[in-house]
Amino acid sequence: MIEINEEIIKEVFQDREKSAKKYDYGMVIVVGGSSLYTGSPVLSAMAALRSGADIAQIIAPRRSADIGASFSPDIITFPLDGDHLLEKHLSDLLRLIRSAEIVSKNRVALVVGGGLGRDKETKDTVYQLLEETSVPVVIDADAVYALEGRKIGTNRKKTLFTPHLYEFYALTGKSLSTFSLEERGERVKFFAEKLSSTILLKGEYDFISDGETLEVNKMSIPYLTAGGTGDVLAGIAGALLARGLSPLMAGKTAAIISTKAGMLAAEEKRDSLIATDVIEKIPEAIRN
């Protein structure tokens, strides 16, 4: 097991070439949100932008997309009719992803799951989307539940799962609540190999594995319990995937950035910390 630290940030964020242009550092498409959980995709999109992505686009049910558009002019939004993600939206999703691949010259990644809800048609649509696209993807939150009990396709080498303990159970059918921290890490590695993907298990320690190596972030912080901090982590990871990093490198770097930004925010906010506080500290976490 390899312990990771802040040095990994320096490996990723080096001085840019003067000839850099739009899309060189990626486009992130966030698929999430519903009429109830409106903020999740906004948090992921803003975190992606603060983590260096050139473009962030939200595709979400109308209320959630409109809130994203009003939150920041930096976010591109595409509103979908209805309160939830539905089967009729699949063609639009695939078309927009394909367009993004073309315009960005394949510097695109998806972040799927935050705030979608667990309506059956929504889960069916998410499953179909993940089966029909092969771009790098962060599968988080409700998108994990969309895969519960289903066969996961063989094109998941570009996939980064970001579950907490309950979502890990939904994904694998294995509860880790009674396992020691070390045993949890080994199970993450086992299931990453089994699923031919990369898993970032969030918790007291973050464990990241692609099935071959197992890495751990021990920079634990008890203030990242606020709703939305997982969406922030997913957005950071999406930006790193879009930049061209492997799912393993994106996952472990995102874990460190999220934790470090959380620590910086907690110095001021402590128990009052909210997800947007973490986003505000991402530039400082990257810079220092």
| CATH code, domain carrying 269 | 3.40.1190.20
Is 5 part of any domain?
no
Q: How far apart are CA 56 and CA 78, in angstroms?
A: 11
**What pLDDT does residue 22 have?**
95
**At CA 246, angle to CA 245 and CA 252, rounded to 5?**
90
Is 110 part of any domain?
yes
Is 3 part of any domain?
no
Q: In this structure, what is the dihedral angle of CA atoms 53, 243, 40, 128, given to the nearest 10 degrees? A: 130
Q: pTM for this one?
A: 0.98
Q: Strand 159-161's sheet: what is its strand order?
A: 2-4, 214-217, 206-209, 198-201, 159-161, 137-139, 108-112, 27-31, 55-61, 76-80
State both tokens at 220: 């634990």
Q: How many CB atoms lie within 10 A of CB 83?
A: 17
State both tokens at 245: 């990093």
**What pLDDT does residue 203 have?**
94
Is 116 part of any domain?
yes
Q: How far apart are CA 266 and CA 284, in angstroms?
A: 13
Is 225 part of any domain?
yes
Q: Check if the beta carbon of residue 257 is closer than 8 Å to that of residue 232.
A: no
Torsion over CA: 249, 105, 162, 167 (sign): negative
In three-state secondary structure terms, 215 is: strand
**What pLDDT does residue 288 have?**
74
**What pLDDT does residue 115 have?**
98
Is 150 part of any domain?
yes
Query: What angle in degrees, to the nearest 10, is found between the helix axes of 229-243 and 247-269?
Result: 140
Q: Distance from CA of residue 140 to its chain's centroid? A: 6
Q: Check if the beta carbon of residue 116 is closer than 8 Å to that of residue 44.
A: no
Count of domains in the chain? 1
**What pLDDT does residue 155 have?**
63
Per-residue pLDDT of the chain (288 residues; tens, 9 = 90+): 999 999 999 999 999 999 999 999 999 999 999 999 999 999 999 999 999 999 999 999 999 999 999 999 999 999 999 999 999 999 999 999 999 999 999 999 999 999 999 999 999 999 999 999 999 999 999 999 999 988 876 568 899 999 999 999 999 999 999 999 999 999 999 999 999 999 999 999 999 999 999 999 999 899 999 999 999 999 999 999 999 999 999 999 999 999 999 999 999 999 999 999 999 999 999 997
Q: What is the residue range of 118's domain? A: 22-287
Strand partners, 29: 57, 110
Is 48 part of any domain?
yes
Q: How far apart are CA 29 and CA 45, in angstroms?
A: 8
Is 10 part of any domain?
no
**What pLDDT does residue 151 have?**
82
